[in-house]
Chains A and B, each alone.
Chain A
Amino acid sequence: MNTISNVSRRAFLRGVFSAGALVLGVSLAPETLLAEADNRSKGDPRGAVFQPNVFVAIEPDGTVRIVAHRSEMGTGIRTSLPLVLADELDADWDRVKIDQAIGDPRYGSQDTDGSRSIRGFFDTMRECGATARIMLLTAAARQWNVPQSECEARLHTIVHLPTGRKLGYGELATAASSLPVPPRSDLRFKPSAKWRYIGKWIPGYDLRDICEGKPVFGMDARVDGMLYASVEHPPVLGGRVKSVDDKAALSVPGVRKTVAIAPFTPPCGFQPLGGIAVVADNTWAAFQGRQKLNIEWDNGPNESYDSEKYKQELRATSRQPGKVMRSAGDVDAVFAKGGRIVEAEYYVPLLAHASMEPPVAVADFRGDRVTVWTPTQDPQAVQETIAGLMGINPENVTCHVTLLGGAFGRKSKPDYAVEAAMLSKAVGRPVKVVWSREDDIRFDYYNSVAAMYLKAALDGKGRPIAWLQRSTFPPISSLFEIDAVYGGPGHLGQGWTDIPFDIANLRVENGAARAHIRIGWLRSVANIYHAFAVQSFADELAHASGRDPLEYVLDLIGPPRIVNLEGVRYPNYGASYQQYPIDTGRLRRVLEIAAEKSGWARRKNGGGTGWGLAVHRSFVTYVATVVQVEVDDKGQIRIPRVDTAVDAGTVVDPQFVKAQFEGAAVFGTAVARTGEISVSKGAVEQANFFDYPLPRIAEAPYQTNVYIVESEAPPGGVGEPGVPPFVPALCNAVYAATGIRVRDLPLAKVNLASRKAA
């Protein structure tokens, strides 16, 4: 349970806020830690250097300052979480200032991933806002010597209703700061009808600055006296420098020196890859110097990794019995009886994040302390990883979080920030490490390659009476355990063990695969390949049975119910299953809405035009997508329209939510059309946007309509859930348009010009 404390008088706040400010902190970590921090700062002769775990402060001038402790990478979270607090406080949003938090364990986890920031902190923000509001009410009632029940908060002022007297929040801040925090039982929350900001469009805090080219991304961080560095990494994971000749590099004007970064000790985790850094006076000189390095590599055992061969291995594994993760009825007995059996295999390659801002970090290492400025999703991981690898205390690592120029999961891993810290230590100056686009594409933590095998036995109406699905992929846990070959329950719980279909005989399996490259989280993660397989297979079965895919998928989902996952290890994205169960009623509803809004019933397939649908729950949010596609005689595809229905429970800012689903359609287009990282002799073959192309304006869906289901259910995720259903919906549309079934992504490798009559 969170504890809200009045920390207005804490020593460590001096100099952070004005004297007399009301400051409330929420201890997401134990209160004892806060006390320790307080004592430490008192004993620190240089004064307080760290930020407390503050969520809200009301300054005597009326400015309300709210800490954003999650990272802003384009989802709007830096606006929407403070907005929840401001709403409950009834603050004037124009008088709210947002302070971006540095990394600090006292915030609890700051790892901005898993589409869980609103889900995790919606209630906390409301409690904090309500607490501050009550304290202001109490302060006003005392000042006027009237009962508190006669007072009301109204947009940054407390009003005494019988007399109409008013006091601004700023005028009350100092008096309120000496009051005790009211017990949770005294908190009264606004009814949703009185929400001032939640559910309305409030422009992003940084919107205008972005349009003026002003905000500071990691790429724009600058410290006086800093040098610039670019790192030549071993082309193969685990490779080492055998010999290096840096004479030519050092002769490039502006190049100062080269620095070796030691290879990592397996498992690789978040450690730098090693290699040779070129340190220079500007980015260009560092890039130029790097090209002149002459390095001989010892590539190590991963040199034999070839993605085409690996694909065949994954497929072979998926055809063999695997580890059973969920089982109901007796699938084997039904298959043994024969009858109508359908099998299919699906494949999704490695995918790169390719955020527009490549990894970048500035670090200043002095004595036993390091200060870092970097676009990170997880500043605490920056602290811990640097501290662990450099033998310093995590508290001596200060991590400032800049805006993130896209992230999609890549920037949860702080390897690049560690490089900056190591290089700063080596050269005795602040250093900015800039990854080139080529570095970004070649040295990513890729979304796992996966091979899926599915098999169903159908009854006379084409409905499955038995369903077997087996998925094989190198797991993310291979980053941390060398021998990890099976997916963990969280990874497998992404669209695999949680299959919501109403089938009596069902078995879900996982095959073993060893990683030879860094595998990591990418927007939607395993849901990408699992939803592709399940929703493509459902479409195949519908067509095989001569049934309408909409009616067929609704039949597969079955009647509205809570899916019983007893006996299945299912973490449910870290949410309680009681609070966030798999509700097939909600799943059906989004599918019905998307179909209806798209005009599904009136669709005309064939002749190069096709409609496809898919529905998927991920990150505790329900999404259905209908994609319309046009395939021309050359096999080029155009996506004129996408209709997506979303049930994410309570929605804070519908504009941000819509934008996330519009963006997910483009992200999904990238996955489906061209998303493929291939590997030869252990090294990634792609390098830049010419061989890892992303959709451009004409290739992206022309119009994506997003329908948000009104709901008072607790909030779900919105950043990731749009991608998984989009990819199979597009491929199902391609089938409807051309009669060509795409089972191996990406589409770019499939000749769609050989159109069949659908």
Chain B
Amino acid sequence: MIRLKVNGSEKAFDGDPQMPLLWYLRDELGLYGAKYGCGVGLCGACTVHIGGRATRSCITTMSAASGAEVTTIEGISQKGLHPVQKSWIRLNVPQCGYCQAGQIMQAIALLDSNRRPTDDDIDKAMAGNICRCGTYQRIRAAIKAAAEERA
């Protein structure tokens, strides 16, 4: 039996320990914020936080997530809008929106560890998150705006 915490609540799982966390969140818990995009950790659509660190849930097995404290976009939203979400809305970042939960989770983790990221910092931190609609310029602006708001 694998035990973990998801958005603050205790969960237990007795299925395939090799199953990625992403499919547990989606198919078992019905938490659909983290998205499937590539299954191999190349696109970032599945990004969640484990212990506050941005993590690709599509390549994190349930056995690796044992004992973890997992936060998904739903967990962020349940505390009201995060400054990153607010600046995402203000700067009208999303187009289709599919990758944006992952982008937002990645950006929150970046700002938690770096209060005033430079362009280079943003390029490095966000390099793993693909947006096919091409909203990168607004993502960059929204991260900077959120950083300023928090400063």
Contact = CB atoms under 8 A, between A and B. Distances in A.
B54 to A, nearest CB: 14
B127 A663 contact: no
Contacts of A662: 134-135, 137-138
Interface string A266-307: 000000000000000011110110000000000000000000
B96 A698 contact: no
A405 B94 contact: no
A403 B96 contact: yes
Contacts of A655: 92
B70 interface: no
B5 to A, nearest CB: 18
A543 to B, nearest CB: 30
Nearest to B105: A213
A220 B94 CA distance: 18
B101 interface: yes
A213 B33 contact: yes
B85 A211 contact: yes
Interface stretch (A96-104, A171-179, A567-575, A689-697): A689-697
A214 B92 CA distance: 16
Contact of B101 (A208, A213, A665): A213
Given A284-B16, A403-B97, A405-B97, A697 B92 contact: no
B39 to A, nearest CB: 6
Contacts of A213: 32-34, 72-74, 76-77, 101, 104
A283 B77 contact: no
Nearest to A669: B134
Interface in A606-640: none
B36 A284 contact: no
B27 A284 contact: yes
Contacts of B127: 696-698
B55 to A, nearest CB: 16
Contacts of B131: 356, 666
B97 A437 contact: no
Contacts of B130: 356, 689, 694, 696
Nearest to B130: A694
A546 interface: no
Given A222-B30, A436-B39, A689-B130, A282 B96 contact: no
Nearest to A209: B97
A660 to B, nearest CB: 8
Contacts of B73: 212-213
Given A212-B81, A254-B15, A437-B38, A356 B134 contact: no
A434 interface: yes
A664 B65 CA distance: 38
Interface extent on A, as a size class?
Answer: 35 or more
A356 B96 contact: yes
Contacts of A50: none
A253 B15 contact: yes
Interface residues of B, number: 58
Nearest to B120: A698
A30 interface: no
A390 B148 CA distance: 57
A437 B39 contact: yes
B42 interface: yes
Contacts of A74: 94-97, 133
A338 B139 CA distance: 55
Given A213-B77, A215-B97, A405-B96, A283 B43 contact: no
A404 B35 CA distance: 13
A282 B23 contact: yes
A358 interface: yes
A690 B42 contact: yes
B134 A206 contact: no
Interface stretch (A147-155, A238-246, A532-540, A699-707): A699-707
A669 to B, nearest CB: 8
A120 interface: no
Given A201-B92, A206-B97, A217-B98, A282 B136 contact: no
B132 interface: yes
A408 B98 CA distance: 14
A614 to B, nearest CB: 18
B6 interface: no
A697 B129 contact: yes
A35 interface: no
Interface centre among A222, A283, A354, A660 (most CB of B within 10 A): A283
Contacts of A76: 95
B96 A406 contact: yes
B115 to A, nearest CB: 20
A285 B81 contact: no
Interface in B84-118: 85, 88-89, 92-101, 104
A434 B36 contact: yes
Nearest to B127: A696
A709 B95 CA distance: 22
A358 B20 CA distance: 18
A404 B38 contact: no
B89 A211 contact: yes
Contacts of A512: none
Contacts of A207: 89, 92, 94
Contacts of B35: 217, 219, 356-357, 405
Contacts of B135: 659, 662-663
A254 B100 contact: no
A408 B35 CA distance: 19
A659 B133 CA distance: 9
Interface string A381-397: 00000000000000000
Interface in B14-55: 15-16, 19-20, 23, 26-28, 30, 32-40, 42-43, 45
A690 B77 CA distance: 32
Given A282-B27, A406-B132, A703 B137 contact: yes
A354 B133 CA distance: 10
A703 B119 CA distance: 12
Contacts of B43: 356, 437, 689
Nearest to A253: B16
Interface in A637-691: 655, 659-660, 662-667, 669, 688-690
A210 interface: yes
A73 B94 contact: no
Contact of B94 (A204, A283, A703): A204
List of 8 A-B pairs having minimum Cβ-Cβ separation, nearest first: A666-B134, A213-B33, A405-B98, A213-B73, A74-B96, A74-B95, A210-B97, A663-B134
Interface of B: 15-16, 19-20, 23, 26-28, 30, 32-40, 42-43, 45, 72-74, 76-77, 81, 85, 88-89, 92-101, 104, 122-123, 126-140
Given A211-B85, A284-B23, A689-B43, 16 more contacts: A74-B94, A74-B96, A210-B97, A211-B93, A211-B104, A213-B32, A282-B23, A284-B20, A287-B39, A356-B133, A437-B43, A662-B134, A669-B134, A694-B130, A694-B132, A696-B126
